[in-house]
A and B are shown apart, each in its own frame.
Chain A
Amino acid sequence: MLFFSYFKDLVGREVTVELKNDLAIRGTLHSVDQYLNIKLENTRVVDQDKYPHMLSVRNCFIRGSVVRYVQLPPEEVDIELLHDATRREAR
């Protein structure tokens, strides 16, 4: 539940989701669920020339299991809070 809560706090921020098929999608985090499925708005594919598949797609739902990374905004994140939550969570 730790990362679910963390992503809920990030709703509205710009993130870049890198998928396991190497596609990278930048967009505004609209919502997240317990499986870490992600809904992004205002999406743009990062390397549009290489991946023209989603040129006209502006909003998408991404299944959590296909995510490799999420590049996060470094500011406005309380690292100490993350550390404390982790100590409590992972047994």
Chain B
Amino acid sequence: MASEEESAVKEPLDLIRLSLDERIYVKLRSDRELRGKLHAYDQHLNMILGDVEEVVTTVEIDDETYEEIVRTTKRTVPFLFVRGDGVILVSPPLRTA
């Protein structure tokens, strides 16, 4: 038990390492969200996700009533590389009751 340095959680990237091969939730810029299995990542938060569902949220404003219509567009991609500069946050999937 000389050193458990490799699996010690010291910095935020180590927290992400705990989610390797697990499903995660990623919030991206431009009102996008991803849910998928984390297969790889680096210090830029470039990632490779498997079995991904992408949700794009748009808000339309009705010309007459001025009400906000929130729409979500979903699609699934089997295997996806995500560039890190679009990533806002990474988390275990949220449990929506």
Contact = CB atoms under 8 A, between A and B. Distances in A.
A68 interface: yes
A68 B40 contact: no
Binding site of B, secondary structure by majority: helix, strand, loop or mixed? mixed
A77 B78 CA distance: 12
Interface stretch (B42-50, B58-66, B89-97): B42-50
Nearest to A85: B40
Interface in B6-24: 6, 11, 13-14, 16-17, 20-21
A67 B79 contact: no
Contact of A83 (B21, B78, B80, B86): B21
Given A71-B80, A90-B17, A2 B40 contact: yes
Nearest to A89: B42
A3 B42 contact: yes
Contacts of A72: 48, 79-81
B83 interface: yes
List 8 tightest A-B contacts by C-beta distance, closest first.
Answer: A70-B81, A74-B79, A82-B40, A72-B79, A74-B78, A86-B40, A82-B39, A67-B83
25 contacts: A2-B40, A3-B48, A6-B48, A20-B86, A36-B83, A64-B83, A68-B86, A69-B80, A69-B82, A70-B80, A70-B81, A71-B77, A71-B81, A72-B79, A72-B80, A74-B78, A79-B21, A82-B39, A82-B40, A82-B48, A83-B21, A85-B40, A86-B41, A86-B42, A90-B42
Interface of A: 2-3, 6, 20, 36, 64-65, 67-74, 77, 79, 82-83, 85-87, 89-91
